């Protein structure tokens, strides 16, 4: 297979995935993490800045590790909690909204944190919301997408997330280096990302709203 044929195949798969994701409920699943990723890009920069400004673990590197570890713990706890409340009767699309709000609040919170306690709480909330939203949207793609398209749709989902977070982090770095404080920027970007989330989800023809966010075994 030549390099040109690989590029053509990739472009064809991307085109097919974009066409498939035009269906509102599937689009809401495929691009559900993109607004979160943009806000997360701001949060990544803020996380590193706060590790230097609030070195509560003895130094910036150790503080960064502690914050990342707690955020990682949140990504595990969040989906478990979401699955538990849905299993007790909560609607999955409402849980998804709560998870999104938690994600945006945590990303803004880490940018605004002025103490170790605020930073720790923010990264845990950020992780819990983001982890829940990740599992919910991934499951929605599997439930709503045609079997032959699932791999391409999941790849498009990952592309939106990666581009969103990388772009958010890059723009944040440039803006912060120009002299603007990361806090107001996080509020602005987080608020716009939240509007984008609710717009995309609000346009969706929601199906399987009571389904568990955990993939079926």
Please say if the pLDDT value at position 75 is more than 70: yes
CA angle (159, 161, 162) in 5-degree steps = 65
Residues 6+ apart with CB under 8 A from 105: 122, 125, 126, 129, 190
**What Å distances lie between residue 10 and 15, 37, 152, 155, CA to CA?**
9, 23, 10, 11
Domain boundaries, the chain: 27-202
Residue entry with tokens 């440039």:
174
93 closest CA partner among 136, 127, 157, 146: 136
CB 131 within 8 A of CB 74: yes
Average pLDDT over residues 129-140: 92
Closest CA to 32 of 121, 170, 129: 129
pLDDT tens for 37-48 read: 999 999 999 999
Q: Which CATH class is domain 27-202?
A: mainly alpha
Q: Where are the beta strands (DSSP E) in the chain?
A: none
Distance CA 32, CA 37 (A): 9
Give the pLDDT confidence of 107-116 residue by residue, as tens digits. 999 999 999 9
Q: Which of 9-13, 96-100, 183-187, 188-192 has the lowest mean pLDDT?
A: 9-13
């Amino acid at each position: 297979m030549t390099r040109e044929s690989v590029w053509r195949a990739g472009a064809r798969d991307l085109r097919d995935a974009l066409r498939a994701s035009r269906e509102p409920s599937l689009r809401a699943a495929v691009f559900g993490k993109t607004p979160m990723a943009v806000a997360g890009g701001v949060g990544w920069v803020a996380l590193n800045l706060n590790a230097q400004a609030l070195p509560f673990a003895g130094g910036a590197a150790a503080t960064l590790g502690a914050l990342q570890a707690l955020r990682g713990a949140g990504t595990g706890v969040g989906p478990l909690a979401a699955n538990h409340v849905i299993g007790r009767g909560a609607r999955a699309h409402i849980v998804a909204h709560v998870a999104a709000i938690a994600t945006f609040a945590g990303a803004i919170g880490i940018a605004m944190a002025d103490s170790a306690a605020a930073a720790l709480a923010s990264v845990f909330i950020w992780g819990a919301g983001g982890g829940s939203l990740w599992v919910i949207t991934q499951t929605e793609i599997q439930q709503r997408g045609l079997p032959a398209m699932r791999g391409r749709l999941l790849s498009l989902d990952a592309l939106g997330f990666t581009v969103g977070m990388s772009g958010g982090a890059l723009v944040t770095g440039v803006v912060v280096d120009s002299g603007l404080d990361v806090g107001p920027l996080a509020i602005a970007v987080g608020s716009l990302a939240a509007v984008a989330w609710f717009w995309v989800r609000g346009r969706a023809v929601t199906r399987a709203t009571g389904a568990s966010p955990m993939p079926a075994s």
